[in-house]
């Protein structure tokens, strides 16, 4: 687990006025993503008898990683003089509430997870530029990179599921059988997008 940022000398004193809202909103997206993954794991297509083992493992790993991210962001927020965010992002919480009852297949599971990882990664990357210290920027970019990596894995799985090749979604993969495009489908952008980034005030209430 990442060491709390509050232990970094001088971090709280250097924090800027926009740090806390950005960190709280990022945390709200992490809270929602972790909660959603847990809900997906409880569904037959996510963690039950209709679940793909690779998808099930991705969910389990994400729950752990997002728990670490939540702790890191909470420490960063208190180190910046704010109150740690505990609630989910209100905008995407409604998206999840509408989507969860419709999840029937591994593809549905991956699709919902992709929605949240995409906005989380874009938000973290967009926020990093406005944070007031190198320590905060480095930490938030690291968390953004982790979200982007999960997004890439989900995109590759989604591509195989949507093409009807669920038999190829196995670990370890049969590299000789995978379509050539699977190596690039997880990285569709030449420049990382931030258009979907949540504004700092969205989840910081």
Q: Would 1 be classed as within a structural domain? A: no
Q: Would 202 be classed as within a structural domain? A: no
Q: Would 200 be classed as within a structural domain? A: no
Per-residue pLDDT of the chain (205 residues; tens, 9 = 90+): 333 333 333 333 334 578 999 999 999 999 999 999 999 999 999 998 788 899 999 999 999 999 999 999 999 999 999 999 999 999 999 999 999 999 999 999 999 999 999 999 999 999 998 999 999 999 999 999 999 999 999 998 888 887 676 665 656 565 555 555 566 555 555 456 776 678 777 766 6
Q: Would 194 be classed as within a structural domain? A: no
- Give the pLDDT score at 78: 96
Q: Would 3 be classed as within a structural domain? A: no
Q: Would 178 be classed as within a structural domain? A: yes
HEC secondary structure over the chain: CCCCHHHCCCHHHHCCCCHHHHHHHHHHHHHHHHHHHHHHHCCCCCCCCCCCHHHHHHHHHHHHHHHHHHHHHHHHHHHCCCCCCCCCCHHHHHHHHHHHHHCCCHHHHHHHHHHHHHHHHHHHHHHHCCCCCHHHHHHHHHHHHHHHHHHHHHHHHHHHHHCCCHHHCCCCCCCCCCCCCHHHHCCCCCCCCCCCCCCCCCCCC
Q: Give the residue numbers spanning the domain of 100.
A: 15-185
What are 18-46's pLDDT values in tens digits? 899 999 999 999 999 999 999 999 999 99
- Give the pLDDT score at 198: 82
What are 89-114's pLDDT values in tens digits? 999 999 999 999 999 999 999 999 99
Question: What is the signed CA dihedral for 195, 199, 202, 204, rounded to 10 degrees?
Answer: 140
Q: Would 56 be classed as within a structural domain? A: yes
Q: Would 196 be classed as within a structural domain? A: no
- Report phi then psi at 28, rounded to 5: -60, -35
Location of structure tokens 């210290």: 133
- Give the pLDDT score at 160: 86
Q: How many domains does the chain have?
A: 1
For the whole model, what pTM was predicted? 0.82
CATH number, domain with residue 85: 1.20.1260.10
């Amino acid at each position: 687990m990442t060491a709390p940022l509050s232990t970094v000398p001088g971090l709280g004193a250097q924090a800027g006025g926009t740090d806390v809202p950005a960190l709280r909103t990022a945390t709200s997206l992490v809270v929602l993503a972790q909660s959603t993954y847990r809900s997906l794991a409880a569904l037959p297509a996510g963690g039950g008898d209709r679940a793909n083992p690779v998808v099930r493992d991705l969910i389990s790993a994400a729950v752990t990683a997002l728990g670490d991210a939540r702790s890191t962001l909470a420490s960063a927020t208190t180190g910046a003089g704010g109150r740690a965010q505990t609630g989910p992002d209100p905008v995407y919480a409604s998206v999840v509430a509408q989507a969860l009852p419709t999840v029937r297949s591994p593809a549905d599971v991956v699709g919902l997870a992709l929605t949240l990882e995409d906005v989380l990664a874009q938000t973290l990357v967009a926020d990093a530029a406005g944070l007031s210290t190198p320590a905060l920027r480095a930490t938030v970019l690291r968390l953004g990179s982790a979200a982007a990596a999960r997004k890439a894995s989900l995109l590759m799985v989604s591509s195989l599921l949507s093409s009807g090749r669920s038999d190829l979604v196995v670990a370890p993969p049969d590299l000789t059988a995978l379509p050539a495009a699977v190596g690039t489908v997880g990285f569709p952008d030449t420049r990382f997008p931030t258009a979907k980034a949540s504004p700092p005030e969205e989840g910081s209430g």
